[in-house]
Amino acid sequence: MTQKITITDSTLRDGMHTVSHQFSPADMAEIARALDQAGMDLIEIGHGDGLAGSSYQYGFSSASDTDYLKAVCDVVKQAKVTVLLLPGIGTKKDLQAAAEIGAKAVRVATHVTEADISEQHIKIAKELGLFTVGFLMMAHMEEPEKIVEQARKMESYGADVVYVTDSAGALLPDGVRARVSALRNAVNIPIGFHAHNNLGVAVGNTLAALAEGATFVDGSLRGMGAGAGNAQTEVMVAALNKQGYLTNCDLSKLIRAAEDIVAPKMSRPQIIDSVALILGYAGVYSSFFLHAKRAAERFGVDALTILEELGKRRIVGGQEDQIIDVAYELSQKQALVR
């Protein structure tokens, strides 16, 4: 097998959820330098919820997008510095500023049924000369045929790659295969896959995506990320090497970066605890992990019950206020029982 695979490391963006968005610019620079020297293709950075994500709603980061970008762009010599933009949070102005500082790529992320809101952002990104990825989140919530419709829209807007994004870590290998295969047969641009590990199958799902023709995949060092985290970059690369795929990554350098640089900076271990497990089982957005825990503590209810109810209501990213509503309702019901 000689297929060349392009890897995006998201330690410095999705991994920000693990540290409550508190990596400093110096932290980011140190980790980005190590990733760059290890041959990483794209290094995604910034607040966990993308450009302009630092807010009361999503949690404040320890520095601004500008500070993070300047710190990383100063040390990265080969990889594409990448940002995430969620329409409705990040704006044209934010994207222009990121490109001026030195970002070379952007991932424009929407819910899996809402690709139409990415049109202006993808077109602006292409005008700015950025490598542009269409990122279809919560891909478990729709069947392959519906995802194909949305992917074709992103392709028509000018996206260079389109991703099947398992934001809830809810997919199993067969579900990944079906979605990636459908896209591979329907669009003329490369297919990517982004995994979360809430059901413990992030690396396995990534291999399933590659087997069906995906050529872009994501990971994060030590598996950092929302919920139970992402596919663990160093583990994923080891698996890709054993499977015979070609990458630009130096496995030994990735292992050292994970063990010596990232691990000491983590505020908590990245594990599949009960809350993360229910995220995947109920199909709830992985970024709700800490929000649900805080709401449970505030209202004296079980975080698992909150997540199960969010899953029943099919709540998605951008509806974080519903976490508080659900927690409050559950606390009132609990009080009546007492």
* Cα(127)–Cα(185) distance, integer angstroms: 28
Position of tokens 């990383």?
Answer: 72
Flag whether 13 is marked binding: yes
DSSP state string for 281-324: HHT--TTHHHHHHHHHHHHT--HHHHHHHHHHTT--TT-THHHH
Burial class for 244, CB neighbours closer than 10 Å (0-12, 13-18, 19+):
exposed
Flag whether 245 is marked binding: no
Integer CA distances (angstroms), 93 to 60, 98, 170, in order: 20, 9, 34
DSSP state string for 172-213: -HHHHHHHHHHHHTT-SS-EEEE-B-TTS-HHHHHHHHHHTT
Integer CA distances (angstroms), 40 to 16, 71, 329, in order: 18, 17, 46
**300 conformational bin, left if phi > 0, alpha if psi -120 to 50, beta if neither:** left
Q: Are 76 and 43 in contact (CB under 8 A)?
A: yes
Flag whether 196 is marked binding: yes
241: which strand partners? none
Flag whether 179 is marked binding: no
Given the residues 17, 47, 121, 140, select the one marked as catalytic. Answer: 17
* Cα(306)–Cα(299) distance, integer angstroms: 11
Flag whether 14 is marked binding: yes
Flag whether 167 is marked binding: yes
Contacts of 297 (CB under 8 A, 6+ apart): none
Reply yes or no on whether 21 is catalytic. no
Q: Which residues are annotated as a binding site for Mn(2+)?
A: 14, 194, 196
**Active-site amino acid positions:** 17
Please state the residue numbers annotated as binding site for substrate: 13-14, 167, 194, 285
Which residues define the annotated binding site? Answer: 13-14, 167, 194, 196, 285
